[in-house]
Amino acid sequence: MWAMTACSGDPDDTASWRREILPLCSRRNTLITQAGDKGRVLKATGEGWFGGHRVGRFEAKGIGQWSHEE
């Protein structure tokens, strides 16, 4: 299983990004790894795919919900 990130629209729009955990064969893993931060575009859908969950724009969740009371 591999952590993947996909972009299906405007890269500046947080709604265009999603994260997935997917099984990849060794050939696909090699292609994604070689692409690095540039990613690969799936011809059938036009989506950009990136290895890992370190790329993309996602809305912050939980801001202001932490309390550091002692």
pLDDT of residue 38 exceeding 70, the answer is yes
- pLDDT averaged over every residue in the chain: 81
Give the count of beta carbons closer than 10 Å to the beta carbon of residue 7: 20
Query: Across-strand partners of 2?
Result: 22
d(CA 7, CA 48): 5
At 62 the pLDDT is 56
Where do the structural domains in the chain lie, given as residue ranges?
Answer: 2-51
The answer for 50, left when phi > 0, alpha when psi is -120 to 50, beta otherwise, is beta
Share of the chain above pLDDT 70, in %: 83
Query: Across-strand partners of 6?
Result: 18, 49
